[in-house]
Amino acid sequence: MAFESVGESLVSKIAALLVEPVIKQFRYMFCFKNFVQEFIDQVMSLALALSGLQDAVNVARNNAEVIEIYVNKWLEDAKKALALYGLQDAVNSATKNAKEIENDVNKWLEGVIPLENEKGKNGKCFTWCPKWIRQFKLSKALEKETETLRKLEEKSKEFQKVSHKAPLQDIEFLPSKEFTPSESSKEALEQIMEALKDDNVNMIGLYGMGGVGKTTLVKEVGRRAKETQLFDEVLLATVSQNLNVTDIQGSNSGSPHASSLT
């Protein structure tokens, strides 16, 4: 009885191991539409993931941040993957409806099916390939492609961040020996330094005719403020008549306060 029990258990396990692969093979032949739909759904899901990540990258770039290398690599891989199925405009593919995505995928499939027929003509397959044989092969191919796209999408979910602050570039101020102020410039310099120490002062204006040394004076102020550690950071930005906030932020990329320079 013990041997019979062991035998029955062994047979059951072997049968279970054999049944699943057989069912899977039949599914390839008779559930072709299911494989197509699963593939279309995955393409749509990847397109949405790509669109969302691209939006986050655009925001980071506008804040003068550096995009992580692995994020740029993923964006390239995702765009290439979607382009294989006729979705060349990968970033905007997420805006397409399911029917448009399905049409693009069907066009790709139409290019695969004739290839199978061509193999038949060359003697590498049956001269006449029944529909179910083509569906069997295409179902397996679609399953593989779907899994590849799924893994690609899952990888994007592992990203903790898409960018980081650029290293703060050291501002080059004039060496003290190059600054030879006049009496009026020296007086203005001392007044500005005192004003910088006053917590009640939020803005200091410096005006004068062109070429009198305003920029040189400002650089000397910056050098002294940095040297005396009056501030944790000293930023220098050129603000032209045609104001461009993005350019100002970019010139100070790396500073945690760059995005707030408005």
Mean pLDDT of the chain: 73
Cα–Cα distance, 119 to 32 (Å, whole number)? 21
- 240 CB-near residues (< 8 Å, 6+ apart): none
pLDDT confidence of 127, banded at 50, 70, 90? very low
How much is the pLDDT for 259? 45
Lowest-pLDDT range of 115-124, 175-184, 198-207: 115-124
- For residue 161, what pLDDT is reported? 93
The mean pLDDT of 142-169, rounded to a whole number, is 90
pLDDT value, residue 93: 54
As a 3-state breakdown, the chain gives helix, strand, coil percent values, each rounded to 5, of 65, 0, 35
Say if residues 82 and 43 touch (Cβ distance below 8 Å).
yes
Task: Give the helix/strand (H/E) hosting 53.
Answer: helix 32-62
Is pLDDT at 40 greater than 80 in this prediction? Answer: yes
Residue 150 — very low, low, confident or very high, per pLDDT cuts 50/70/90?
A: very high
C-alpha separations of 193 from 198, 215, 220 in Å: 9, 15, 10
